[in-house]
C-alpha cells in the first residue's frame, strides 16, 4: 500500500506542534516508522495495523494552514510504503536526476561550448594548425550539444516529476540555448565553400548565433546553481574558478591577437609607402 502525500493540502490534517526533528513519539502515542519530507523541515510518522488495515499517521512541522505556493512549498511531496522500510524513493530519484542534470549541463553548456568557441576564434588564424583547428572546434561543439541535449531531456523529465514547481527563467534560458545550439548544428550542413558569395553572410550568422548560445548557456548554468540551492557551494566555486581561468586565457589571447594585428597593419602600411621591401619581413628598413 503506497501513499503519496502532497502537503499543499495539509489543512485537512490536525494541528501538530512544531518540530524540526524527525521522531516517532508524541505526547500521547509512539509510532513505528517515520520519514523526513524533502522541504520545510517536516516529517511524518506512522503505524500500520495489518490485522484491520488501518493506519495511524501524524505530521510534524509547520502549521498546516494556508501557505505560499513557492517552489519550496510545492515540492513538499514524498512517497512511502507503509508495509516496508522503503521511503522517499520519489524524492531520492528526483535528487539524483537533478544532480545528473546539473553536472551534464555545467560540463556541456558551461565548459565545453565556451572552449570550442575559443579554439575557433584564436586558432583559425594560425596557418600551421589548419584544418586541425576546425575539426577540433566542430568535434568539441558537437560533443557539447549532444551532452547538452541529454541534460535538456533530463530537465524536461524533472519538470514532469515535479508538478506545480516552475523555474520559469531557468526553463526559458535552457530552451533558448538548446534552440540556438540546434541551429548551429544544422548550420554545418549548409556551410558554403570559401569561394561562395554567401560565405560572409553564413559566417556572420554562425558567429552571432554561436556567441549568443555560449552566453545563454553560461548564464543558465549560474541560474541552475540558484535553482538547486547551491549558490554558495564548492561546486559553484569550482565552476567559477574554471570559467575565470578560461576568461583569463581569452584575455591574454585577445591582447596577443591585437598586438599581432597592429604590427602587421604597420608593416603593410610601410610596404605601401615603400619604406620596407616586400621580402624584408620588417627587418630591412630603408632610410
Query: Is residue 170 marked as binding?
Result: yes
What is the CB neighbour count within 10 angstroms for residue 21?
A: 9
| Residue 67 labelled as part of a binding site | no
Please name which of 41, 37, 35 lies closest in space to residue 82, comparing C-alpha atoms.
35
Among 106, 73, 101, 95, smallest CA distance to 236 is for: 106
Closest residue by Cα to residue 141 from 175, 172, 173, 118:
118
The response to whether 51 counts as a known ligand-binding position is no
Query: Longest C-alpha distance within the chain, in Å?
Result: 110
The DSSP line for 184-252 is HHHHGGG---TTSTTHHHHHHHHHHHHHHHHHHHHHHHHHHHHHTT-TTSHHHHHHHHHHHHHHHHHHH
Question: 287: which DSSP letter?
Answer: -
Cell of 213: 548560445
- Of 249, 248, 222, nearest to 237 by C-alpha is 222
Q: Confirm or deny that 101 is annotated as ligand binding.
A: yes
Task: Write down the residue that cell numbers 489543512 correspond to.
Answer: 11
Neighbours of 127 (CB within 10 A): 6
Q: At which residue does the C-alpha cell 507503509 appear?
A: 82
Which residues define the annotated binding site for heme b? 101, 137, 170, 206
Binding residues: 101, 137, 170, 206
Amino acid at each position: 500500500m503506497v501513499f503519496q502525500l502532497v502537503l499543499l493540502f495539509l489543512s485537512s490534517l490536525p494541528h501538530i506542534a512544531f518540530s524540526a526533528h524527525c521522531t516517532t513519539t508524541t505526547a500521547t502515542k509512539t509510532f513505528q516508522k517515520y520519514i523526513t519530507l524533502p522541504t520545510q523541515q517536516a516529517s511524518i510518522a506512522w503505524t500500520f495495523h495489518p490485522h484491520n488495515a488501518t493506519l495511524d499517521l501524524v505530521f510534524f512541522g509547520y502549521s498546516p494552514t494556508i501557505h505560499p505556493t513557492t517552489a519550496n512549498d510545492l515540492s513538499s511531496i514524498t512517497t512511502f510504503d507503509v508495509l516496508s522500510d522503503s521511503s522517499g524513493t520519489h524524492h531520492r530519484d528526483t535528487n539524483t536526476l537533478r544532480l545528473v542534470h546539473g553536472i551534464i549541463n555545467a560540463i556541456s553548456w558551461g565548459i565545453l561550448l565556451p572552449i570550442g568557441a575559443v579554439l575557433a576564434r584564436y586558432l583559425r588564424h594560425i596557418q600551421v594548425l589548419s584544418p586541425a583547428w576546425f575539426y577540433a572546434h566542430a568535434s568539441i561543439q558537437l560533443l557539447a550539444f549532444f551532452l547538452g541535449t541529454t541534460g535538456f531531456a533530463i530537465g524536461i523529465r524533472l519538470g514532469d516529476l515535479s508538478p506545480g514547481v516552475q523555474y520559469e527563467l531557468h526553463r526559458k534560458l535552457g530552451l533558448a540555448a538548446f534552440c540556438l545550439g540546434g541551429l548551429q548544428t544544422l548550420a554545418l550542413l549548409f556551410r558554403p565553400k570559401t569561394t561562395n558569395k554567401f560565405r560572409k553572410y553564413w559566417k556572420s550568422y554562425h558567429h552571432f548565433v554561436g556567441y549568443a548560445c555560449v552566453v545563454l548557456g553560461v548564464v543558465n548554468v549560474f541560474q541552475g546553481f540558484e535553482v538547486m540551492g547551491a549558490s554558495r557551494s564548492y561546486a559553484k566555486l569550482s565552476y567559477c574558478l574554471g570559467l575565470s581561468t578560461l576568461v583569463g586565457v581569452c584575455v591574454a589571447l585577445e591582447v596577443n591577437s591585437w598586438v599581432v594585428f597592429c604590427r602587421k597593419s604597420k608593416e603593410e602600411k610601410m610596404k605601401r609607402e615603400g619604406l620596407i621591401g616586400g621580402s624584408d619581413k620588417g627587418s630591412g628598413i630603408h632610410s
